[in-house]
Amino acid sequence: MSDLSAFPVTRRWPAEHPDRLQLYSLPTPNGVKVSIMLEEIGLPYEVHLVDFDKDDQKTPEFLALNPNGKIPAIIDPNGPGGKPLGLFESGAILQYLADKTGKLLPADAARRRQTIQWLHFQMGGVGPMFGQLGFFINSPARRSPISDHSSAM
């Protein structure tokens, strides 16, 4: 039985199956990336809902796992050397899971680099652009005065 008690996040979200990978997430674009990966590679996991309506992601327990206060984050009870490992940042998690299982990341050096290239393109380009679009356009409370003004014209 894995001991995850060193991770404060497990006090707020207790692990029912501590031997399984623990996922702290919500079905947002960054959140589902890890869920899809876990389903694809078939690794058993336990999911914990981080509720933005309750600002769960800003609680001390969650911040101890990800100081940036954003989902997704994981704890792998079976990390390198058999020790538990906490990780955040969806791209880092995807690459870790691919390395761990040998799935979805080619062993061939050139194809491996190309796959990581597309991962970085998603992480540094597409993801943040869509994130900002959602933040500035879709959220009425956060709509900028400039876009309000231009839409009234």
Q: Which residues bind ligand GSH (CB under 6 A)?
A: 28-31, 52, 57, 69-72, 89-91, 131
Smaller CB separation from ligand GSH, 57 or 95: 57
Least distance (Å) from ligand GSH to the CB of residue 50? Answer: 7
Smaller CB separation from ligand GSH, 58 or 111: 58
Least distance (Å) from ligand GSH to the CB of residue 85? Answer: 16
Annotate 101-123 with b (16+ C-beta within 10 A) or e (fewer): eeeebeeeeeeeeebbeebeebb
Smaller CB separation from ligand GSH, 5 or 104: 104
Least distance (Å) from ligand GSH to the CB of residue 20? Answer: 21
Give dist(CA 66, CA 106) in Å, integer.
29
The two structure tokens encoding residue 24:
């702290």
Pairing relationship of beta strands 73-76 and 21-25 according to DSSP bridges? antiparallel
Give dist(CA 67, CA 79) in Å, integer.
20
Least distance (Å) from ligand GSH to the CB of residue 74? Answer: 11
